[in-house]
Amino acid sequence: MAKTPETASTRLIYGFHAVSAKLRHAPDAVLEIHLSADRKDARAKKFIAQAEAAGVRILHSEGDKLDALVGTRRHQGVVAKVDATRRDIKLADVLDSLEENALILVLDGVQDPHNLGACLRVADAAGAHAVVAPKDRAVGLNATAVKVASGAADTVPYITVTNLARALREMQDAGVWVIGAAGEAEKSLHDVDQKGPVAWVLGAEGDGLRRLTRETCDELARIPMHGSVESLNVSVASGICLFEARRQRQ
């Protein structure tokens, strides 16, 4: 069975957590579910009941067919085709709807879907209101990213923008303090006041922030490093920055 390509109107998500989250938050967006014929355990039975309650068609398939469908064996025996045409969320929509000070994660040039998925998961855990990324020079929200996010792709708004520097200025105009994470910065993230509206901007591991992104930030801050490594994975760094903001606000 040849791998089914994702189209502009549909995409594939896989794994029990990601598909179950989609069924809970947006059941109408789940078009069909492919479930391994070998899964007859209690978890699969509970999942089938959830899908049937949502009125979603279940197709039983062999494991190797699911492997070919998504190009990986890490699907846990469940793959869903979902509607990808839902209305794009705009940055202004998020900023206008907040009932507390903004906490936003901005990713500049992250191209690994595993890193994006992990960042979404961290953002969800920290209660971030959105994850913002450029449309170009960055990975999209593909099946791998959704799988790694473990449901967070459907709970944290993922906003793609044509011009990242312009989006940062839009946040600044709305009163959001934009902080760029940079290893060479003089100030530690613990010394930055994050009790007000904040957007943390992080670049890809190795490359860091692009020049224009760096120049647009209100200030730069570093994560104190006490060992021999010079940098952290972007998802780890994101968690440190976001949870420091939460710590200060408590």
The H or E element spanning position 249 is: helix 234-249
DSSP code, position 19? H
With 0-12 / 13-18 / 19 or more C-beta atoms within 10 angstroms meaning exposed / middle / buried, residue 8 is: exposed
Question: Is 239 a known ligand-binding residue?
Answer: no
Question: Is 95 a known ligand-binding residue?
Answer: no
Q: How far is CA 58 from CA 22, 53, 79, 108, in A?
A: 15, 12, 10, 38
Instruction: Please give the Cα distance from 168 to 156 (Å, whole number).
Output: 19
Q: Where are the alpha helices (DSSP H) in 105-192?
A: 113-126, 143-149, 164-173
The H or E element spanning position 238 is: helix 234-249
Question: Is 120 a known ligand-binding residue?
Answer: no
Q: Are 62 and 2 in contact (CB under 8 A)?
A: no
Binding site, annotated residues: 203, 223, 232
Binding site, annotated residues for S-adenosyl-L-methionine: 203, 223, 232
